[in-house]
């Protein structure tokens, strides 16, 4: 715990120093990145210790805030979320040290780095907090810090707009969270998580209310489908290393909150699991479909975060169904898969956002259809993006396959053994995960193919060059982690039992029994991966031998005999996704503006497609405007004159004095 406190102090102190410093950009950035890296290492040690079997440490300090207590705790569940948070924070900070702001040069990057440190600090506090008031404090700190990071490039109006949407969404979520905590405190007479964790929540009607409040309040942060609208706005607006951090780990604090909430409850009813499966299917399938429809790389990745949160929700749904039906293996596999996917997603999504940031920085081009051929110009970035793309599609031998494999195993087991409706819902999980995986392949072949393959579609893509080592390094580390978890899957799963004990309260034997059903197959998967790599190596050698005696020629791409292909003749991102999108247009909607070619020598023709989110923030506007108008009527209470404000303060003080001493 001392080390954790040291890390927190480092982040706070470092952030303050960076804020105060007037050094030039680079020094300031490197200082801040250094602080975050050191804090991550210092804080990572206890997290690793706890996961490896060390004792769970807690800390209770009195705090002057009413009902508040500075109570921290590091149990395996917290440690599981703490590790990726610290890892990605450090790597994104190194990447961000090379970050160059578009638009006018700011006087200092100090405030940016201050809020970055604050964001890391608040995320660490969120997963450590053991008191509801402290949790809410950290939660809000996280919202505010990330708001200022989203709006770093506030000169652009769309960034300011995205910032407001994000702030509004996160505050709505907090309102539900506040109600949840107040109800819990009323029923248990405490704000302390340890009291709630004694499964203090009564079953029945109240539990249902609490569950819904938690799902909405925490689900807004996580990006569950009907509550996701802030996500595709905020991620593209923020600097890429911040997007990586927000998408990779910050939205996972919502998942952490939900899992922590589950440690407070007794055996949940079946409909909790079904709700999560419903949320997971909607977020997963629709998330990837909208991702497919995007033309902006970072917006595409943002929708993929929704998809992956959907996969995590599916895993949690499987786990909850297992809990309700009393099936330990189902519980272990479902929750285990969800937990592992939390880690995996933070790795490959962080990687993908960093790579997208590198592309954006080198080309200054948001539109996929203006990119192309970057693999030759940015080989490291391209290769890293390729590994991330294969991992997020859940392809063997990478890490995404492993976590989805666990959820699949759980769902298949339930579909094979459970009775009636439970089996059908788990069959839906199996089919849904398959569909999500297939669509993810469609989406990431599009993203990688259009950005990195073929020929450049614009001048800026043609002249792009590789980024510096500070940006390549973190990407390669994340890519290596994706590969390693894939190849060391049984050992990665071996770290789960303590977290699962913490989460489910099952006896250790039951958890090991449940995981044993996965470790055997995973060993075989690893063996198959090794065989795959050996075969690939042999094929490489064989092909080299075969071609060594032959003529190798270079030509143009086959175009039905047309010998002068131009970049504009390539398939674009829009055309690649068109068949799938038009087939699903009943769900997706989408607008088309077509100026068809006309006459024998058509001059100008154009096609614009757009697939706006049906839950786009603008659609909330009428309702929000009405709320705003209602509130404006109370405006007379809030006068512009300073004298009246002072009068209010004086009156309030007087009232307090009378109340206190009267």
Helix 508-548 with 469-487: angle, nearest 10 deg: 110
Q: Quick one: which of 157, 204, 555, 630 contacts other proteins (CB under 8 A)?
A: 555
Q: With binding defined as CB under 8 A, does residue 290 bind other proteins? A: no
Would you say 203 or 557 has its CB closer to other proteins?
Answer: 557
- 575: which 2 tokens? 């055309």
Q: With binding defined as CB under 8 A, does residue 630 bind other proteins? A: no
Would you say 50 or 318 has its CB closer to other proteins?
Answer: 318
Instruction: Kindly determine how many residues on this chain lie close enough to bind other proteins according to the rule CB under 8 A.
Output: 84
Strands 591-595 and 69-74: unpaired
Give residue 66's region: left, alpha or beta (phi > 0; psi -120 to 50): beta
Q: With binding defined as CB under 8 A, does residue 424 bind other proteins? A: yes
Binding map of other proteins across residues 323-342, x = CB under 8 A, - = no contact: ------x-------------
Is the Cα dihedral 320, 268, 283, 224 positive or negative?
negative
Q: With binding defined as CB under 8 A, does residue 557 bind other proteins? A: yes
Contacts of 270 (CB under 8 A, 6+ apart): 321, 324, 325, 421, 422
Q: With binding defined as CB under 8 A, does residue 607 bind other proteins? A: no
Would you say 55 or 550 has its CB closer to other proteins?
Answer: 550
Q: Bridge partners of 606?
A: 595
Element (H, E) at 209: helix 205-222
Tell me which residue of 584, 268, 270 sits closest to 424, measured CA to CA: 270
Strands 69-74 and 606-610: unpaired
Q: With binding defined as CB under 8 A, does residue 376 bind other proteins? A: yes
Task: In angstroms, give the least distance from the CB of 248 to other proteins.
Answer: 23
Q: With binding defined as CB under 8 A, does residue 554 bind other proteins? A: yes
- Which span sits near other proteins by CB under 8 A: 175-183, 241-249, 403-411, 624-632? 403-411
Would you say 232 or 394 has its CB closer to other proteins?
Answer: 394
Would you say 531 or 605 has its CB closer to other proteins?
Answer: 531
- Which span sits near other proteins by CB under 8 A: 92-100, 252-260, 472-480, 527-535? 527-535
Would you say 259 or 402 has its CB closer to other proteins?
Answer: 402
Would you say 75 or 404 has its CB closer to other proteins?
Answer: 404
Q: With binding defined as CB under 8 A, does residue 513 bind other proteins? A: no
Q: With binding defined as CB under 8 A, does residue 546 bind other proteins? A: yes
Contacts of 181 (CB under 8 A, 6+ apart): 132, 135, 136, 191
Tell me which residue of 148, 155, 147 sits closest to 101, measured CA to CA: 155
Would you say 33 or 489 has its CB closer to other proteins?
Answer: 489
Cα–Cα distance for residue pair 58/78, rounded to 1 Å? 12
On the 0-12 / 13-18 / 19+ scale of CB atoms within 10 A, 58 is middle
Q: Are 230 and 169 in contact (CB under 8 A)?
A: yes
Helix 297-325 with 252-264: angle, nearest 10 deg: 10
Q: With binding defined as CB under 8 A, does residue 532 bind other proteins? A: yes
Tell me which residue of 658, 336, 257, 386 sits closest to 516, measured CA to CA: 336
Element (H, E) at 220: helix 205-222
- Which span sits near other proteins by CB under 8 A: 264-272, 311-319, 336-344, 404-412? 404-412
SS3 of residue 591 by DSSP: strand
Q: Are 285 and 336 in contact (CB under 8 A)?
A: no
Q: With binding defined as CB under 8 A, does residue 349 bind other proteins? A: no
Would you say 80 or 335 has its CB closer to other proteins?
Answer: 335
Q: Quick one: which of 130, 298, 413, 498 contacts other proteins (CB under 8 A)?
A: 413
Q: Quick one: which of 48, 52, 209, 524 contacts other proteins (CB under 8 A)?
A: 524
Task: In angstroms, give the least distance from the CB of 228 to other proteins.
Answer: 22
- Which span sits near other proteins by CB under 8 A: 17-25, 212-220, 425-433, 623-631? 425-433
Q: With binding defined as CB under 8 A, does residue 409 bind other proteins? A: yes
Would you say 431 or 605 has its CB closer to other proteins?
Answer: 431
Tell me which residue of 318, 242, 249, 309 sits closest to 280, measured CA to CA: 309
Binding map of other proteins across residues 633-662, x = CB under 8 A, - = no contact: ------------------------------
Q: With binding defined as CB under 8 A, does residue 487 bind other proteins? A: no
- Which span sits near other proteins by CB under 8 A: 150-158, 311-319, 518-526, 601-609? 518-526
Q: With binding defined as CB under 8 A, does residue 380 bind other proteins? A: no
Q: Quick one: which of 551, 631, 637, 641 contacts other proteins (CB under 8 A)?
A: 551
Site residues (CB under 8 A) for other proteins, limited to 426-485: 427, 430-435, 437-439, 441-442, 445-446, 448-450, 453-455
Q: With binding defined as CB under 8 A, does residue 605 bind other proteins? A: no
Task: In angstroms, give the least distance from the CB of 343 to other proteins.
Answer: 19
Q: Alpha-carbon dihedral of residues 178, 179, 183, 185, nearest 10 degrees?
A: 10
Q: With binding defined as CB under 8 A, does residue 270 bind other proteins? A: no
Q: Cα 346–347–352 angle (5° rounding)? A: 95
SS3 of 105-137: the string is CCCCCHHHHHHHHHHHHHHHHHHHECEHHHHHH
Q: With binding defined as CB under 8 A, does residue 563 bind other proteins? A: no
């Amino acid at each position: 715990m001392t080390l954790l406190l040291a890390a927190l102090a480092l982040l706070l102190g470092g952030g303050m120093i960076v804020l105060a410093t007037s050094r030039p950009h680079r020094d300031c950035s490197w200082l801040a990145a250094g602080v975050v890296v050191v804090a991550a290492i210092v804080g990572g040690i206890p997290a690793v210790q706890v996961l490896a079997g060390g004792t769970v440490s807690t800390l209770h300090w009195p705090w002057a805030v009413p009902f508040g207590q500075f109570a921290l705790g590091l149990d395996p569940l917290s440690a599981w979320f703490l590790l990726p948070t610290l890892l990605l924070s450090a790597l994104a900070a190194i990447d961000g040290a090379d970050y160059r702001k578009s638009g006018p040069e700011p006087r200092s990057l100090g405030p940016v780095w201050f809020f970055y440190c604050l964001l890391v600090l608040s995320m660490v506090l969120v997963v450590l907090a053991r008191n509801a008031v402290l949790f809410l404090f950290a939660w809000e700190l996280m919202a505010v810090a990330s708001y200022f990071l989203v709006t770093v490039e506030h000169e652009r109006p769309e960034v300011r707009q995205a910032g407001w949407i994000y702030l509004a969404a996160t505050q709505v979520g907090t309102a539900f969270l506040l109600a949840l905590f107040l109800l819990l405190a009323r029923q248990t007479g405490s704000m302390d998580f340890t009291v709630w964790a004694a499964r203090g929540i009564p079953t029945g009607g109240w539990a249902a209310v609490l569950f819904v409040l938690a799902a909405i309040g925490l689900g807004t942060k996580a990006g569950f489908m009907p509550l996701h609208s802030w996500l595709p706005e905020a991620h593209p607006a923020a600097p890429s290393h911040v997007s990586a951090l927000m998408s990779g780990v910050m939205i996972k604090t919502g998942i952490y909150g939900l899992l922590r909430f589950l440690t407070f409850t007794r055996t949940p009813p079946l409909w909790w699991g079904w709700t999560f499966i419903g949320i997971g299917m909607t977020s997963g399938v629709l998330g990837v479909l909208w991702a497919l429809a995007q033309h902006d790389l970072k917006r595409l990745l943002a929708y993929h975060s929704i998809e992956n949160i959907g996969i995590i929700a599916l895993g949690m749904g499987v786990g909850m169904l297992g809990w309700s039906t009393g099936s330990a293996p189902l519980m272990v596999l479902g929750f285990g898969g969800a937990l592992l996917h939390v880690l995996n997603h933070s790795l490959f999504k962080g990687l993908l956002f960093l790579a997208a940031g590198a592309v954006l920085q080198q080309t200054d081009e948001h539109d996929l259809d203006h990119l192309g051929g970057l693999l030759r110009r940015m080989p490291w970035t391209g290769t890293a993006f390729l590994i991330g793309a294969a991992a997020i599609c859940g392809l063997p031998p990478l890490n995404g396959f492993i976590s989805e494999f666990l959820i699949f195993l759980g769902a298949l087991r339930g579909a094979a053994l459970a009775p009636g409706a439970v089996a059908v819902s788990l069959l839906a999980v199996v089919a849904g995960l398959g569909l999500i995986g297939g669509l993810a392949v469609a989406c990431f072949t599009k993203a990688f193919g259009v950005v990195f393959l073929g020929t450049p579609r614009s001048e800026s893509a043609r002249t792009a060059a590789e980024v510096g080592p500070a940006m390549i390094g973190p990407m390669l580390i994340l890519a290596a982690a994706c590969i390693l978890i894939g190849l060391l899957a049984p050992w990665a799963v071996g770290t789960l039992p303590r977290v699962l004990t913490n989460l489910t309260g099952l006896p250790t034997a039951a958890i090991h029994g449940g995981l044993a059903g996965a470790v055997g197959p995973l060993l075989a998967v690893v063996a198959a991966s090794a065989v795959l790599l050996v075969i690939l190596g042999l094929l490489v050698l064989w092909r080299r031998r075969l071609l060594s005696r032959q003529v190798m020629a270079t030509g143009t791409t086959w175009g039905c005999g047309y010998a002068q292909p131009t970049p504009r003749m390539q398939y674009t991102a829009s055309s690649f996704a068109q068949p799938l999108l038009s087939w699903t247009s009943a769900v997706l909607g989408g607008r088309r503006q077509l100026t068809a070619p006309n006459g024998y020598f058509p001059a100008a023709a154009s096609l614009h497609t757009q697939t706006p989110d049906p839950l786009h923030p603008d659609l909330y506007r009428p309702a929000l405007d009405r709320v705003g108008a209602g509130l404006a009527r109370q405006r007379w209470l809030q006068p512009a004159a300073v004298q009246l404000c002072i009068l209010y303060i004086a009156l309030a003080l007087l009232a307090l004095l009378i109340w206190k001493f009267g």
